[in-house]
């Protein structure tokens, strides 16, 4: 079993999609997965957020047209099927004046970067 820690800081569809695919596949195969949601990725995980992530190029547009499961659905599956942890950045929550109750229910406790990096020690860290 591998330990995979994913940092999501972008707000673009392609990068969020790749991060969610890696998290869901790794979690489904039994790896220990933690996803740190920070910066421009965080608003997509606030309850009631309906905006679409902007695309960077052709593939982002084609994913929506071809019915590729959206990144939020894949992250949710990673939590439900593989027990992955989705951890909101405590600093970004402070900046946005959000509480845990304002976030999607599959998100875990607010976490600081220091704690996340400490917990990630000895595993792979991927950044999107």
pLDDT at 40 over 90: yes
Residues pairing with 86 in the sheet: 35, 107
pLDDT at 44 over 90: yes
Q: What is the pLDDT of residues 87-122, one digit of tens each?
A: 999 999 999 999 999 999 999 999 999 999 999 999
Tokens of 52: 């679409």
The structure's pTM equals 0.95
At residue 56, φ and ψ (nearest 5 deg) are -95, -25
pLDDT confidence tier of residue 64, bands split at 50, 70 and 90: confident
Distance CA 106, CA 87 (A): 9
Residues 6+ apart with CB under 8 A from 48: none
Q: What is the CATH number of domain 3-127?
A: 3.40.1260.10
- Mean pLDDT computed over 31-54: 96
Domains of the chain by residue range: 3-127
At residue 100, φ and ψ (nearest 5 deg) are -55, -35
């Amino acid at each position: 079993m591998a330990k995979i820690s994913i940092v999501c800081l972008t707000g673009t569809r392609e990068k969020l999609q790749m991060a969610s695919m890696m998290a869901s596949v790794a979690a489904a195969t039994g790896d220990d997965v933690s996803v740190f949601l920070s910066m421009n990725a965080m608003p997509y995980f606030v309850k009631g957020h309906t905006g679409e992530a902007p695309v960077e190029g052709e593939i982002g547009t084609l994913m929506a047209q071809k019915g590729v499961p959206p990144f939020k659905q894949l992250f949710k599956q990673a939590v439900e099927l593989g027990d992955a942890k989705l951890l909101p950045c405590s600093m970004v929550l402070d900046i946005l004046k959000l509480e845990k109750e304002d976030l999607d229910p599959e998100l875990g406790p607010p976490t600081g970067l220091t704690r996340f990096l400490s917990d990630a020690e000895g595993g792979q860290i991927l950044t999107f």
